[in-house]
Amino acid sequence: MGGLIVLALTVRADDHVYVAPPASDFLELSNVVGNVRVLDSKGLVLERNLVYLPRIPLADLSPAQLHALLETKTAYASLTTFASVQGTNALGQALEHQLQQTWHQGRSLAEKIQTRLEILDDLRDYNIEIALVPGSLAAADQYAANEVPISNQLTTRAATVAAAATQVEATAVNQNSGPAAEVAAQQAQENYQDMAVRVAQAKDQDVIATEQIAGANQQVTNHLARCAVLSARLAAHGFKVAGVPPFCPVPPLTLSAEVNAERKHK
């Protein structure tokens, strides 16, 4: 299958060598060969003959294999770009600078790659969580608004069934007054039973509405808690992102210079 991928160099300018981005995903390791399909903080996934191979932890790769990994298109993109639906903002430049500093502080290539992937994973999860907060808040508000007429209906029906029960008692007192009284008592009883069924249905609807509100509020709580956890975890690496609203999404990031420098000096 051939040896390690050959580094592609282009024009020299001011004693700086531009390293062309990799164009292939082919990777040959000592015990497996395939195309890189996934690279994240959990490890590397290769594909061979349309089959995804078991994930390989980055800790299992030698320095030479890690350098070979940098010469694959998917791995290079995973380490040098951060995609985002958000536009650029002031946070982007600070994050790029901190990512570069963190890379240079790595004691080995394995540590540099692993740390960067962990940080990018957290930034990606952070964007997802803060994007879900407004929708969950809106859902909670909508469920609460929907519950108001259901609660009012339950209150009205409860009052109606109470009145029907009083009517049953009143007709029961007069049940010895003749056939007409018996008919009235029967009608009052049937009306009471009908109202009782409607109250039970209203209670069921109110329970469902209350559960929907609680579920939506719990989602909001979960998203906010996850944002706080991710913010604290990123802070441990020197990254400042809001742990509570108002949130500022992470914009697209470009981080190729330090990876290219590693490729040139392998």
Domain boundaries, the chain: 9-84+251-264, 129-235
Residue 73's closest CA among 22, 136, 36, 115?
22
Separation CA 196–CA 157 (nearest Å):
8
Q: Are 248 and 241 in contact (CB under 8 A)?
A: yes
Q: Give the CA-trace dihedral at 234, 239, 240, 241, to 10 degrees.
A: -50
Count CB atoms within 10 A of the CB of residue 179: 7
- What's phi and psi for 23, nearest 5 deg? -110, -5
Distance CA 125, CA 132 (A): 11
Tell me the pLDDT of the chain (266 aa) as tens digits. Answer: 444 443 444 434 334 557 899 999 999 999 899 999 999 999 999 999 999 999 999 999 999 999 999 999 999 999 999 999 888 888 899 999 999 999 999 999 999 999 999 999 999 999 999 999 999 888 877 876 765 565 555 466 555 555 545 655 555 555 555 565 555 556 656 665 666 666 677 677 777 878 888 888 899 999 999 999 999 999 999 999 999 999 999 999 999 999 999 998 76
Q: If you search the block for the tokens 């282009």, which residue do you land on?
A: 10
**Residues whose CB falls within 8 Å of the CB of residue 191, separated by 6 or more in sequence, listed in order:** 164, 167
**The tokens of 99 are what?**
């990512």
Instruction: Give dist(CA 16, CA 11) in Å, integer.
Output: 9
